[in-house]
Chain A
């Protein structure tokens, strides 16, 4: 092989691999990203049942009901709208009424949100950023949430 041919092989392979990577990324982005919505977004955007989303807001005080077999029901609110959430499993340590929460799952046809993952904040200072933004948008942000954003991480219960 001449130098030129060798270079062509090299460049060809590079372009091929990068093309492959780009194709994989594009197809995966189409299929596997999940949008974040506040309860108001869900209502306004008419999110269709069965579409996987993240729902974020506060756990409405007084709405938490624990059933059998680790079934729990609670309302997620952004101060404007509320959505009922059903979840079966163990919730994170810092899942509490009146605190920020992100639930991942899909709406059922009757309008309740079936979550398969519940993320809660990880210490007393932290409010999930998405939730904070959603609350600010609805004008329900209280400054004491914002004192100090601190450590947090996903606590995936299942």
Chain B
């Protein structure tokens, strides 16, 4: 009954979406406020329906209703409750339901917080948003219905893929989807602007909070996924340049570019046509990501099940929205008015520089991800494009970006002074040089370039703070004056500095981990000791344990630093009988920002076990930097300018809020 209710609610959502696809846009054309007003109501109702559908599926999972095929295939009555809930989206059908849930959530948020939008724009945006929603509802109902019943109820479920039985599944996909799907709003805004043929600074101001919110979720979602892969897959890698990762990284790059170009549009009324294109591209890349991940053209942890009809259906959605969006763009964009004039050396110029390199970097990732697919289709040759390709293409394009990042915020609008900015960055340069010299002196091992990379990281961090120091006259004025100035500084200035600072933090973590990480692989007998970086890991024996739905082989290691026992690590291997698979659970020990990482290989009959031990210096900075970036975004989002719409400044109650 519950499953049928969910199914029915989803069909209802499709009906509402179809209404919302046409009526408001018709209303906008005929300037009929009643027809336009329909959009708000249907958007809220749609969200309600999808929420009911999603709740229904969740209930089916929680009560382990194995008459529902989806529950049978992906759940097990012995699983802990949290995994029963997360397995709702740990499979294809359920994850698509989560996707549309978030899509309708964003629609509802526009309906609620979009009170300061012009009526026609709001109607058009919600209309376009509904096209996307309708396509995905249809996709779910036709090809991936999670509510299908089995004719005969099995006694027990087939369990969730063990790799997914982790708290990471509770966080990573929803955040990533908030990011992916968040770009649908910018897409809808862009298409609505093209339909209306009108776009101005106010438009950019309305779009920016949504872009920012989506970007924040995507940033943290990607970082979360990376950390999850790091500790769950058992060999200590945090980024694989796997096509599935790239699929989430490309929208991030495009979204980052969009954030920056929207600033130019908002402040200077320039780069309009380009911003619209980026908005379309960011969502297109999100759709391509969905296609790559869900269609089965790639095989990876994320490919739940392959069914050719699904691939074709998603491809059709992809072609419609990307093709349609770009066609509309080609047709309407030339009618948009060109914006203001500026010199190449200026804030605008710096932001264009940013956009240029970000999109170029995004393009290389795109080529690296899709080239193997294209080559296989055309010639049948199977190749793999791995880390060496991306290191050789992506890194050279990202270095100029990092070098330029501190310059941007210090440049004046319209006409900047490169020499003057460089002078103000002297402190940052000095810090970088010191970092390089110090690294050269103390570092052992690592590449010759490593000290320069460290220098670059410190330069980015110091450079990000330079803007704040300058603007608060820190060290030059009395502390009280600086404090008052710091209070007066706009939150978006703080946000920019923080986000750029986070970039440097991540870079620092990456350089340390890749250059000075150490690894030991050995076969150990009980009471043997393995040493790494002054820490001794003594193998104390193996124990068998029973988990709720698995059996676990746990090895105990006593960790000593000198004579002091600093901890016990218990990595394990779990075997899941219901799926006849096993997973390796690494054990981590955090020392400051560094980690020791211990994972198990195969045990031998004589009691010895293969062990992989890593020391990962400053590895936590990689993800911490992403968190800092996200916080920067959040600060920027809370800026008064964005909370309050451009034309009607006095309406704090109806302000745009972070969309989580």
- A residues apposed to B, CB below 8 Å: 1, 3, 6, 9-10, 13-14, 17-18, 20-21, 24-25, 27-29, 31-36, 54, 66, 68-70, 89-91, 93-94, 104, 122-124, 126, 128-130, 133, 148-158
> Which residues from B are CB-within-8-Å of A33?
372, 383-385, 389
Q: Measured between alpha carbons, how far is A69 from B301 in the docked complex, in Å?
A: 30
Which listed residue (A6, A32, A69) contacts B343, Cβ 8 A? Answer: A6
Contacts A21-B364, A155-B233; is A29 near B584 (CB within 8 Å)? no
Q: Measured between alpha carbons, how far is A115 from B300 in the docked complex, in Å?
A: 21
> Which residues from A are CB-within-8-Å of B162?
123
Q: Measured between alpha carbons, how far is A36 from B376 in the docked complex, in Å?
A: 11
Q: In this assembly, does B143 line the interface, its C-beta being within 8 Å of a C-beta of chain A?
A: no
Contacts A36-B383, A123-B581, A157-B235; is A17 near B356 (CB within 8 Å)? yes
Tell me the smallest distance from the CB of A118 to a CB of chain B, in Å: 11
Q: In this assembly, does B304 line the interface, its C-beta being within 8 Å of a C-beta of chain A?
A: yes
13 more CB-based (< 8 A) A-B contacts, given A21-B393, A70-B522: A24-B396, A25-B367, A25-B368, A28-B393, A29-B389, A33-B372, A70-B610, A90-B521, A90-B602, A133-B382, A150-B305, A155-B234, A156-B235
Tell me the smallest distance from the CB of A25 to a CB of chain B, in Å: 5
Contact B299 A129 (CB under 8 A): yes
- B residues apposed to A, CB below 8 Å: 161-164, 233-235, 237, 240, 242, 296, 299-306, 341-344, 352-353, 356-357, 360-361, 363-364, 367-368, 371-372, 381-386, 388-389, 392-393, 396-397, 519, 521-523, 573, 579-584, 601-602, 604, 610, 612
> Which residues from B are CB-within-8-Å of A31?
388, 392
Q: Measured between alpha carbons, how far is A94 from B357 in the docked complex, in Å?
A: 41
> Which residues from A are CB-within-8-Å of B523?
68-70
Contact A123 B579 (CB under 8 A): yes
Interface centre among B301, B364, B582 (most CB of A within 10 A): B301
Interface pairs (11), CB distance under 8 Å: A6-B342, A13-B344, A17-B360, A25-B393, A29-B385, A54-B384, A70-B523, A91-B602, A94-B581, A124-B579, A126-B299
Contacts A6-B341, A33-B389, A156-B237; is A124 near B581 (CB within 8 Å)? yes
> Which residues from A are CB-within-8-Å of B384?
33-34, 36, 54, 104
* Interface pairs A-B: 5 shortest CB-CB: A90-B601, A36-B382, A32-B388, A153-B301, A28-B392
> Which residues from B are CB-within-8-Å of A148?
305
Q: Measured between alpha carbons, how far is A156 from B599 in the docked complex, in Å?
A: 13
Tell me what chain B mostly uses at the interface: helix, strand, loop, or mixed.
Answer: mixed
Q: Looking across the interface, which residue of chain A has its beta carbon closest to that of B361?
A: A21
> Which residues from B are CB-within-8-Å of A17?
356-357, 360, 397
Contact B235 A158 (CB under 8 A): yes
> Which residues from B are CB-within-8-Å of A13?
344, 352-353, 356
Tell me the smallest distance from the CB of B250 to a CB of chain A, in Å: 14
> Which residues from A are CB-within-8-Å of B296?
149
Which listed residue (B352, B364, B579, B584) contacts A25, Cβ 8 A? Answer: B364
Tell me the smallest distance from the CB of A88 to a CB of chain B, in Å: 8
Which listed residue (B300, B522, B573) contacts A153, Cβ 8 A? Answer: B300
Tell me the smallest distance from the CB of B504 to a CB of chain A, in Å: 23
Contact A21 B360 (CB under 8 A): yes
Contact B356 A14 (CB under 8 A): yes
Contact A35 B235 (CB under 8 A): no
> Which residues from A are CB-within-8-Å of B612?
90
> Which residues from B are CB-within-8-Å of A155?
233-235
> Which residues from A are CB-within-8-Å of B392?
24, 27-28, 31-32
Tell me the smallest distance from the CB of B31 to a CB of chain A, in Å: 37
> Which residues from B are CB-within-8-Å of A104?
384
> Which residues from A are CB-within-8-Å of B381?
35
> Which residues from A are CB-within-8-Å of B361?
21
Q: Looking across the interface, which residue of chain B has its beta carbon closest to that of A129?
A: B299
Q: Measured between alpha carbons, how far is A70 from B573 in the docked complex, in Å?
A: 18
Q: Measured between alpha carbons, how far is A14 from B395 in the docked complex, in Å?
A: 18
> Which residues from B are CB-within-8-Å of A150?
161, 303-305
Tell me the smallest distance from the CB of A67 to a CB of chain B, in Å: 11
Q: Looking across the interface, which residue of chain A has its beta carbon closest to that of B601?
A: A90
> Which residues from B are CB-within-8-Å of A9?
344
Q: Measured between alpha carbons, how far is A68 from B234 in the docked complex, in Å?
A: 22
Contact B386 A32 (CB under 8 A): yes
Tell me the smallest distance from the CB of B57 to a CB of chain A, in Å: 20
Q: Measured between alpha carbons, how far is A28 from B363 in the docked complex, in Å?
A: 14
Tell me the smallest distance from the CB of A53 to a CB of chain B, in Å: 10
> Which residues from A are CB-within-8-Å of B519?
158
> Which residues from A are CB-within-8-Å of B304?
150-151
Contact B573 A93 (CB under 8 A): yes
> Which residues from B are CB-within-8-Å of A158?
235, 519, 521
Q: Measured between alpha carbons, how far is A156 from B234 in the docked complex, in Å?
A: 9
Contact B299 A149 (CB under 8 A): yes
Contact A28 B305 (CB under 8 A): no
Interface centre among B353, B388, B580 (most CB of A within 10 A): B388
Contact B371 A29 (CB under 8 A): yes
Q: Measured between alpha carbons, how far is A149 from B440 in the docked complex, in Å?
A: 50
Q: Looking across the interface, which residue of chain B has its beta carbon closest to that of A157?
A: B235
> Which residues from B are CB-within-8-Å of A156?
235, 237, 240
Q: Looking across the interface, which residue of chain B has its beta carbon closest to that of A16?
A: B356
Which listed residue (B233, B352, B363) contacts A21, Cβ 8 A? Answer: B363
Tell me the smallest distance from the CB of A151 to a CB of chain B, in Å: 5
Which listed residue (A94, A129, A151) contacts B582, Cβ 8 A? Answer: A94
Contact A1 B382 (CB under 8 A): no
Tell me the smallest distance from the CB of A56 to a CB of chain B, in Å: 9
Q: Measured between alpha carbons, how far is A123 from B580 in the docked complex, in Å?
A: 8
Q: Looking across the interface, which residue of chain B has its beta carbon closest to that of A126?
A: B299
Contacts A14-B356, A21-B360; is A151 near B601 (CB within 8 Å)? no
Contacts A34-B383, A36-B384; is A93 near B582 (CB within 8 Å)? yes
Contact B301 A20 (CB under 8 A): no
Which listed residue (B360, B581, B583) contacts A18, Cβ 8 A? Answer: B360
> Which residues from B are CB-within-8-Å of A124?
579-581
Q: Looking across the interface, which residue of chain B has its beta carbon closest to that of A12?
A: B344
